[in-house]
Each structure stands twice: as C-alpha cells, then as structure tokens.
Amino acid sequence: MSFLPKSRKARTRLLLLSIIAPVVVAAVGLSLWGMRDSISLFYTPSQAEAANPPPGRSIQLGGLVTAGSVLKHPDGRVEFTVADQTASDRVVYQGDLPDLFREGQGIVAEGSYRKDGVFEAKRVLAKHDETYMPKALADELKEKGEYRGAGTTSAATGAGAGPGR
C-alpha cells in the first residue's frame, strides 16, 4: 500500500510541492526574524512604565521636555526629562539637538532603555511649529484627556489636517 498517487503527473506535482513549500516557509521565517529589530514601538512615558519594555529594545518615546530638566555636559552629552501628565522618564542623548529643541517642547526620542531605567536616545526629533505634534502622540494624549492643543479642531479644518499630510 503506497501513499503516493498512481498518476505520474500527480506524483510530479506532489514532489514539486514538497520541495517548494519548505523553501517558502524558510524564506518567510527568515524575513520575519530579520525584521524583528527594525520594528520601533511608540510610547508615552506612562505607557512605557506600564509596558516595561526590556532593556535594549528599540522604541520611540514621546512627550514634553520638562522645564528646568535640560542638563548639557561639556562632552556633548545632554540629559533631560520627557513627561506626560502622569509619568516622566530621564533621557540621555549624545550629539547635537535639533534647533527647535527647548523646554516645554514636544519631542520624540528614538532609542532604548538601559538596565538602570534611563532612556538612551540615538535620535531626537522636535516639532516644527506651535501646532504640530506627532499624530501618534496627539492621539494618545487625546485618548487620556491630556491633550493641550491650541483649541479644538472643527469640521472645516479637519482633524489632523496640516502641511505634509
């Protein structure tokens, strides 16, 4: 009793399928494994506190720079605090900050948490005018009722409408 089909054409198709299927599965698996570190999740400080991302995991941390928290070191390292209404995180960044970076400003820092709980930024982005805020950050703040925008958006202006969208 044989498990193979009697037709030569059917056996050829089965052999072809048995060769192609593992190759496709391996290619998809390797692609997903290779992209695992390129995914960058966005958190506000309170979300990061709740999610507790592991040290070294690449994320984006967004919020407002706390007034009086910016400390610039002679070696080019900058330390500051990013906060939302309920939590704050200490951020360390080595390099030149954007020209629009200042206290009270909304920023998004890309990097990871260290084992000591300090966020080490590899890149810092600052908003470009008084009305711009990253959409993900604005949505999160609106959900929590913490949004401090320049008033409400009307149907005529369109929610989230602005340059570059």
- Domain range holding 26? 7-36
pLDDT (0 to 100) of residue 160: 40
Q: Do residues 121 and 93 lie in contact, with contact meaning Cβ atoms separated by under 8 Å? A: yes
Question: Is residue 165, in this structure, part of any structural domain at all?
Answer: no
Q: Are residues 46 and 100 in the same domain?
A: yes
Q: What is the pLDDT of residues 42-81, one digit of tens each?
A: 899 999 999 899 998 889 999 999 999 999 999 989 999 9
pLDDT (0 to 100) of residue 151: 46
Please say if the pLDDT value at position 165 is more than 50: no
Q: Are residues 90 and 103 in the same domain?
A: yes
Average pLDDT over residues 7-14: 90
Number of domains, the chain: 2
Q: Are residues 12 and 68 in the same domain?
A: no
Q: Are residues 104 and 122 in the same domain?
A: yes
Q: What is the pLDDT of residues 95-152, one digit of tens each?
A: 888 888 888 888 999 999 999 999 999 999 986 655 666 777 778 778 877 776 654 4
Extended strands (E) in the chain: 41-43, 59-65, 71-72, 77-83, 88-94, 106-113, 119-126
Question: Is residue 150, in this structure, part of any structural domain at all?
Answer: no
Question: Is residue 83, in this structure, part of any structural domain at all?
Answer: yes
Query: 6 pLDDT band (50/70/90 cuts)?
Result: confident
Q: Are residues 26 and 45 in the same domain?
A: no
The three-state secondary structure class of 101 is coil
- The Cα–Cα gap between 87 and 143 comes to 16
pTM of the entire predicted model: 0.60
